[in-house]
Amino acid sequence: MKEKLTRSATDKFVGGVCGGVARSLGIDSGLVRIITVVLAFFWGLIVPVYLALWLVLPLEDGGSTGFDDLKKMFGGGNGNTTPPSDYR
C-alpha cells in the first residue's frame, strides 16, 4: 500500500471509496470502479462491502466518516439526550 486507506474527497463518483482504494494501492481509480461494478454484478457481496467502507473510512485529511455524515443528515449526534421541556 502506498498511502493510508481513506475516502477520496476529490476523486469520487459516489462516496469516494473507489478513489481512496485506488490511491492507496497506487492504481487508476477508473480500473477500481470497473472492477467494483463487475463484481457487483457477479458477486453481490461487494455492495455491502462498499457501504461498510463508506461508513467507516474517513475522508482524506482527517475528514468525517460516512457514519458521521448520516448522523448529521438525520439530526443525531448533537449530544442532547434529554427531551425538550414541552415534551409530554
In a domain, 73, yes or no: no
pLDDT tens-digit map of 23-66: 999 999 999 999 999 999 998 899 999 999 999 999 888 888 88
In a domain, 29, yes or no: yes
In a domain, 69, yes or no: no
Which residue, among 6, 12, 14, has the nearest Cα to 61 in the 3D structure? 6
Cβ atoms 67, 55 nearer than 8 A: yes
In a domain, 71, yes or no: no
Burial class for 84, CB neighbours closer than 10 Å (0-12, 13-18, 19+): exposed
Please report the pLDDT score of residue 46 as a whole number. Answer: 92
In a domain, 52, yes or no: yes
**Domain carrying residue 40:** 1-64
Q: Could you tell me which residues are beta bridge partners of residue 7?
A: 59
In a domain, 80, yes or no: no
Could you give the number of structural domains in the chain?
1
In a domain, 6, yes or no: yes
In a domain, 85, yes or no: no
